[in-house]
Chains A and B, each alone.
Chain A
């Protein structure tokens, strides 16, 4: 098992890299000759050092960053986004909602996690605002019905948010950024990959189905599964209804309160396994079987340690986490859509039922 920075150069292939250790998600897509797009961002601070896996990956491939996109203003997607904008090349595009609908979070708070979240979100939005005002041609509106963004041989079609969803959220006291998050389809030659952001069904995939048909995006070669694989984000319009062995599903976990995905019977992971034989997780928030690095793990092996509180439910206890450098999944396709490889880091999982 190699490390991400040891992977072979991009060559003539299309490459999808999903990074996500448990809190934070970043999706990179590279296409020939050296173009890359990065969707969302996360980073970690270790004293005066900053670890930014997406930038590390980009530098490892010596890639030319053509576009960055922020799907929604949640800290696990925004942290370090300003640094991505700094690395855009000439003519680079910055994707973001055309208007700010959510104003999440109180700044003045005694909750350090919330303070950090609000700060990271504000910094990301400030960076986008600066990029758009200083260089208007960098602007890329992430809204349904916008013309596809063409980047050389590649194009990106933004699926959400729908205009109607935006209007609806304007009247809500607490808009839900997940419902507004920008799912998109990346196309290059014969390849199409769905990037699900954190889009959930209500006012999200449900509405897309109305406009595009029942399985509109289920035939795509791969999908970065929405919202960490949660049940509320699984929808036939993106995932189809029957197994399709050639399709790759990759998701990143979320290991804070309300951990997702849920590995229990009938829940998130089992449902996804009904749709594909190739379900990869970039990380995992529970105990890891010793063979997980080298071979697939069964879903039931991933049950977390629980502490029962009687009538009050139970606590899902945290497990030691691998290095964020090890939490990744990378896949390659040829121009005709043939999948060439799937590689993964030590902290990732290939899950079977």
Chain B
């Protein structure tokens, strides 16, 4: 069955790729219902494009938000010579930039005709584009729509009701199918439901995370018997959600149970939070609460628990200027949530309440989400998941001691709770405390639950950070064999969650051997589907080259044929018509009060390869010939400059021209999740 689904995805992907590059078409739209396998088809299209010599660029989750998508486009357009990586935590997302400027830059890129290689931009599903609840969202969506429709770069947009015409439609029951219902132990209060569902209808227990989550929710809120009367694997996720919404529309008790379920499920990352965001609104059928959800989820972490209680903080997370409309909605929604939370808290702590567990679960859910960690402590805890939810909320607010305490409570309730054990280790690791215990708890959690690649990645990164490279390599080998199938491969998500984070730490620490081992392990077929792979590989290659010869040009320009690109700032011809005859690219190795020492590459237009060497440059010469005086005066080791000699024909004459390159933060897009120097900083080293 799964094979058939993947074959179908390949077929749709091939159609998509063909439509993208054939017939001069610039924009191709893939449509399909949620859970129908759009993303899988997109990946197949990506593979197909690679095989036919194109260079697809994927804007994948979590870059699907309107604003981040624009920033991603911008990053491709202006920051990188070729696709590197989108990391919303590190990009211009944090750097205020006028939308008009941002969109102008993107437009400029998209409409550029001279491109060394044809690019195909694949934008993975943006369902929220179709639900513009705010004026500013609508405007931005329209901006991007018009850009991709008029641009000269082939763009494949995958979306649902996104306003584009549809070129290719995915209409399968679920091409996704990569997720299976996880161990029932992870579903907290819903464990009996999940167990029953899995036993009686195993076919319903596979599918996309969204499908599984919806079916489980329906089974919990109705009954497994009832669900089995109308639900089967071919029923689209959306239809299940419709049934569910109808069922719970007027039932407050069920809504609370829904909330309780979400608390556990979200903590377990069982469902993507953008899906929750959209479907929560459907289930509750309350527009205000839906808007509230949208407000609160923006800035949320993977567990959806990072909620800032103040309007200012939420606005900061949203990264948008307040408008009277958004301000009014947020105030109203926040007040409602606070009020509801207080009522529930009172109920929950009242002795003898027949539904104490149910109420407690919801209180914990809401309390965690509005960040009231202290109040949630008064709620009687029956499940380890509840304590973990508090811990996750505390983590998201950087209350590490609170988080550790919460996870300790979870472990008192259930010492075999792998999640709490792992998050306890992560909290301690974050603070660079008790490294021996961190290692022990990481190891223990993986013993209990070996399937989470991210957990392995955290342990291996910890070992690298502690400069235990040999141990890290040993653990890497073990993890790799535990997480891959008999042929030594795994799904793309494995490489995303295990390989790339480890590679990032290894490269940061100049452990190039480990960098090679880890990145070489990513199968060729997975590389094009893995956002970030090229960025890490490029960085590793550049570090390798720098190890041999030093660095002459900024890393983003370093490439096998970089000297053929021509100078960065020097012009090919100067004002009196003389041609650039000799170009010297230099990296500053050392600076003294008298001179700067440079590693240089001497490039002549007719040469196949540059000559390398070293030279010293007196400050007075630098000041005399540099066109960028302010940057020249601040030259430091690690900076770059270019020296050019101009002449007619073969003649070299006159004074040199020196340009100093502006300083850039090339590595910003590949930061590690935690600062590798944290243990040193904690010890004040």
Contact = CB atoms under 8 A, between A and B. Distances in A.
Interface of A: 44-45, 47-50, 75, 79, 82-83, 85-86, 100, 105-120, 122-127, 129-130, 133-134, 255-259, 307, 309, 311-318
Contacts of A313: 615-618, 621
21 contacts: A45-B516, A49-B513, A109-B666, A110-B664, A110-B667, A111-B587, A112-B545, A113-B589, A116-B512, A116-B543, A123-B469, A126-B676, A134-B435, A134-B436, A256-B589, A257-B597, A258-B597, A307-B613, A309-B615, A315-B614, A318-B613
Interface stretch (B11-19, B223-231, B636-644): B636-644
B306 interface: no
Nearest to B637: A114
A315 B583 CA distance: 13
A292 to B, nearest CB: 21
A129 B681 CA distance: 11
B550 interface: yes
Given A86-B470, A109-B665, A109-B666, A114 B599 contact: no
B35 interface: no
Given A129-B680, A256-B589, A256-B614, 8 more contacts: A44-B547, A79-B510, A105-B637, A110-B640, A126-B465, A126-B680, A258-B597, A318-B614
Given A48-B520, A110-B663, A317 B617 contact: no
Nearest to B436: A134
A259 B495 CA distance: 42
A122 B590 contact: no
B134 interface: no
A82 B517 contact: no
Contacts of A109: 638, 663, 665-667
A258 B617 CA distance: 10
Given A45-B513, A108-B667, A114-B638, A311 B547 contact: no
B556 A83 contact: no
A25 B614 CA distance: 20
A315 B638 contact: no
A320 B345 CA distance: 75
A129 B683 contact: yes
Contact of A130 (B466, B588, B621): B466
A117 B516 CA distance: 18
A99 B86 CA distance: 39
A50 B602 CA distance: 30
B614 A257 contact: yes
Nearest to B599: A257
Interface string B565-604: 0000000000000000000100111100000011110100
A285 to B, nearest CB: 9
A115 B615 CA distance: 21
Interface of B: 435-436, 465-470, 507-513, 516-517, 520, 539, 542-547, 549-551, 554-556, 558, 584, 587-590, 597-600, 602, 611-618, 621, 625, 637-640, 643, 645, 655-656, 663-668, 676-677, 679-680, 683, 685
A255 B613 CA distance: 9
Nearest to B506: A119
Contacts of A257: 550, 587-590, 597-599, 614-616
A219 B380 CA distance: 78
Contacts of A108: 665-668
A133 B683 contact: yes
A119 B508 contact: yes
Contacts of A113: 546-547, 550-551, 587, 589, 599, 638
A119 B550 contact: no
Contacts of B435: 130, 133-134
B500 to A, nearest CB: 17
Contacts of A47: 516, 520
A143 to B, nearest CB: 16
B621 A82 contact: no
A111 B557 CA distance: 10
B670 to A, nearest CB: 10
A284 B615 CA distance: 17
B217 to A, nearest CB: 44
Given A47-B516, A129-B685, A317 B555 contact: no
Task: From A130, A257, A318, name the one whose CB has the most chain B CB atoms within 10 angstroms.
Answer: A257
Nearest to A44: B547
Nearest to A103: B685
B638 A48 contact: no
Contacts of A318: 549, 611-614
B614 A83 contact: no
Given A48-B513, A109-B666, A122 B680 contact: yes
A130 B467 contact: yes
B611 A317 contact: yes
Contacts of A79: 510
B590 A112 contact: no
Contacts of B510: 75, 79, 115-120, 123
A232 to B, nearest CB: 10
B516 A315 contact: no
B622 to A, nearest CB: 10
A309 B468 contact: no
A111 B639 contact: yes
Contacts of A44: 547
B507 A311 contact: no
B272 to A, nearest CB: 31
Contacts of B590: 257-258
Contact of B656 (A86, A120, A309): A309
A215 B520 CA distance: 55
Contacts of B639: 111
Given A113-B546, A256-B550, A314 B615 contact: yes
Contacts of B507: 119
A317 B543 contact: no
A45 B614 contact: no
A126 to B, nearest CB: 4
Task: From A75, A85, A112, name the one whose CB has the most chain B CB atoms within 10 angstroms.
Answer: A112
Contact of A122 (B509, B666, B668): B509
A288 to B, nearest CB: 16
Contact of B543 (A50, A85, A112, A311): A112
